[in-house]
Amino acid sequence: MINVKVTSQDVASRAGVSQSAVSRVFSGASASKATIAKVRKAADELGYRPNSLARAMITGKSKIIGLVVAYLDNQFYPIALQRLSESLQKQGYHILIFTAGNDAEATQKVIEELIDYQVDGIITASVGMSSNLTQHCATAGIPIVMFNRGQDGSGHSSITSANVEGGRKVAEFLTAGGHKRIAHIAGWEGSSTGRDRRRGFTEGLAANGQTPLDIIDGMFDRAAAAAATRTLMARSDPPDAIFVGNDHMAFAVMDTLRQELGLRIPQDVSVVGYDDVPLAAWGAYDLTTVRQPVNRMVEATVETILAKIEDPARPAQKIEIDGPLITRGSARIPKGWTP
Kindly list the structural domains of the chain, giving each domain's residue range(s) and its CATH number in brackets, ordered by start.
8-50 (no CATH), 64-161+294-321 (3.40.50.2300), 163-292 (3.40.50.2300)
More confident: 320 or 59: 320
**Cβ-proximal residues to 181 (8 Å cutoff; 6+ apart), any chain:** 213, 237, 238, 239, 240, 241
Q: CA-based Rg of the chain, rounded to a whole angstrom?
A: 25
The pLDDT of residue 4:
64
The pLDDT of residue 237:
97
The pLDDT of residue 54:
56
Q: Look at residues 127, 75, 125, 71 and name the one whose alpha carbon lies nearest to residue 95.
A: 125
The single-letter DSSP state of residue 315 is: P
**Cβ-proximal residues to 295 (8 Å cutoff; 6+ apart), any chain:** 83
SS (H, E, C) 229-285: HHHHHCCCCCCCEEEECCHHHHHHHHHHHHHHCCCCCCCCCEEEEEECCHHHHCCCC
Is the pLDDT reported for residue 215 higher than 80?
yes
For residue 41, CA distances in Å to 5, 34, 148, 283 come to 18, 11, 45, 54
Angstrom distance (rounded) from CA 316 to CA 229: 39
Q: Look at residues 212, 219, 269, 213 and name the one whose alpha carbon lies nearest to residue 248.
A: 219
Where do runs of H (alpha helix) occur along 50-176? 52-59, 76-90, 104-116, 131-140, 163-176
Angstrom distance (rounded) from CA 335 to CA 268: 18
**174: confidence class by pLDDT, cuts 50, 70, 90:** very high
pLDDT 10s digits, 10-58: 889 999 998 888 878 877 677 888 998 998 899 888 888 776 555 554 5
Query: Stretch 195-219: mean pLDDT, rounded?
Result: 98
pLDDT 10s digits, 127-168: 777 777 777 787 888 899 999 998 877 788 999 999 999 999
3-state secondary structure (DSSP) of residue 3: coil
Among 7-11, 247-251, 252-256, 294-298, the minimum mean pLDDT is found in: 7-11
pLDDT 10s digits, 306-333: 999 999 899 999 999 999 999 999 999 9
The single-letter DSSP state of residue 211 is: -
Query: Stretch 272-281: mean pLDDT, rounded?
Result: 98
